[in-house]
Amino acid sequence: MILRRSSPTWTLCVLTIPQREPYLRRLFESLRSLGLRRGRWELQLVYNWDTAEEPYAVERRLRKLGKGLPLSVHFNVRNPSIIGGRIQQLALCKSPLICFIDDDLTLHGDILDVLEERLRTHPVGLMGIPSLVEDTNRLFKPRRATPHIDADGLRFMSVQGMLVAGYRRLIQDIGGFNVRRLFWGEWTELNLRMLRSGFPTAYAMDAGYMRHWHNAPESPTRNKDGRQDHVLWGLLCTALEYDAIAIRPDTEKFWNLVERRYLAYSFGKSASASDLLGSVLRLVPRIATEWPHIAEFRDIARKHPFQFAPFHQITAREIADVTTYAEAHIGPYRRAVWGKERRRQPRPA
């Protein structure tokens, strides 16, 4: 069914908590400055906290912050984890295009127009834009050192949170967000599953930019209490769900990153074996509880059309193969937005 002209094309989804309201004010100010056409988009805010404050009081305060914006406010008190909030965001969205935005950002440039044009002309499953470190010109994401493939004006690689755009229905069809990524790793896993399902992920390097304000509290990777267990839990689930338990040529990249990056920034460079063992022991009961669901997920993952391992360093040939597959399967998602499908014109040799 083609979207009616009066219905929004985009839903901008923001997850927030009480400690971040000063950052939310700054995000709303940047959205106003973009001058986005009314009726084309709506702003969905999920208050991801079990607050003792009356919801109507919170909503009045947030609406005052978002004055002039097409804002709706919702509350996630049953499962206020990051993944619980993400699942609620996706469930609330009714528009064909969705854009997840972190609350510690400000947005700058012609973002929605360029993202929409890239999605319309390239068979991409998830798309992001560059981010700068606070008020500097230093690139934060995508990191220049991270392996990537530049082709057709896009940078093909995993799109790491902060701002992720795509088709609502496609995200739902590949299974939505993984319920086991409670506070860390939800975007890494979704990117991997999207790529294995046959839809590449990429950054539009010319679609404006965002500024990432690093001092926001309760960051799962920087300053949240218990982040060590959250990161280790995500790594354990990844290894179990995607058959990456043993070190093989295809999983070597995953294990190198676990050792050199993820364990170091979670536990500290001087972490002891007892620290790591203690975290594993705290997680053993959860693994036992989740094991039937992990095994079921692993069986599904073994049937994905592409069997890339976690953190696979993709090649230009593989990007071409996945893009060819996506071009043959992305039609229904495009038609839900634009009606008649518009295929990408092949580039001259």
Q: Are 160 and 188 in contact (CB under 8 A)?
A: yes
Residue 310 forms part of a structural domain: no
Q: Are residues 177 and 239 in the same domain?
A: no
Number of continuous H segments (helices) and E segments (strands) in the chain: 12, 13
The pLDDT confidence band at residue 315, using thresholds 50, 70 and 90, is very high
The pLDDT confidence band at residue 6, using thresholds 50, 70 and 90, is confident
Q: Among 6-10, 161-165, 269-273, which is the least confidently predicted range?
A: 269-273
Residue 252 forms part of a structural domain: yes
Residue 244 has pLDDT above 80, yes or no: yes
Residue 2 forms part of a structural domain: no
Boundary (domain end) residue, out of 261, 283, 301: 301
Q: Are residues 153 and 32 in the same domain?
A: yes
The angle subtended at Cα 196 by Cα 190 and Cα 202, nearest 5°, is 65
Residue 4 has pLDDT above 60, yes or no: no
Query: Residue 299: CB partners within 8 Å, gap ≥ 6?
Result: none
Residue 32 forms part of a structural domain: yes
Q: Are residues 187 and 266 in the same domain?
A: no
Residue 348 forms part of a structural domain: no
The whole-angstrom separation of Cα 31 and Cα 19 is 20
Nearest residue to 16 via CA among 55, 78, 74, 57: 74
Residue 181 has pLDDT above 90, yes or no: yes
- At 221 the pLDDT is 54
Q: The CATH number of the domain where 176 resides is what?
A: 3.90.550.10
Q: Are residues 243 and 115 in the same domain?
A: no
- At 105 the pLDDT is 95
- At 160 the pLDDT is 87
The residue-averaged pLDDT of 318-346 equals 86
The pLDDT confidence band at residue 214, using thresholds 50, 70 and 90, is confident
Q: Which residue has the higher pLDDT, 255 or 4?
A: 255
Question: In this structure, which amino acid lies at residue 254?
Answer: F
The residue-averaged pLDDT of 111-127 equals 96
- At 272 the pLDDT is 75
pLDDT tens, position by position, 42-80: 999 999 999 899 999 999 999 999 999 999 999 999 899
Q: Which residue has the higher pLDDT, 161 or 194?
A: 194
Q: Are residues 127 and 171 in the same domain?
A: yes
Q: What domain range is 120 assigned to?
A: 10-212
The pLDDT confidence band at residue 344, using thresholds 50, 70 and 90, is low
Q: Which residue has the higher pLDDT, 96 or 224?
A: 96
Residue 220 forms part of a structural domain: no
Q: Are residues 192 and 255 in the same domain?
A: no
Task: Provide the mean pLDDT of the chain.
Answer: 91
Q: Are 10 and 41 in contact (CB under 8 A)?
A: yes
Instruction: Please give the C-alpha separations between residue 341 and each of 7, 98, 338, in angstroms, as whole numbers.
Output: 19, 19, 7
CA trace torsion 322, 327, 333, 339 (10° rounding): 160
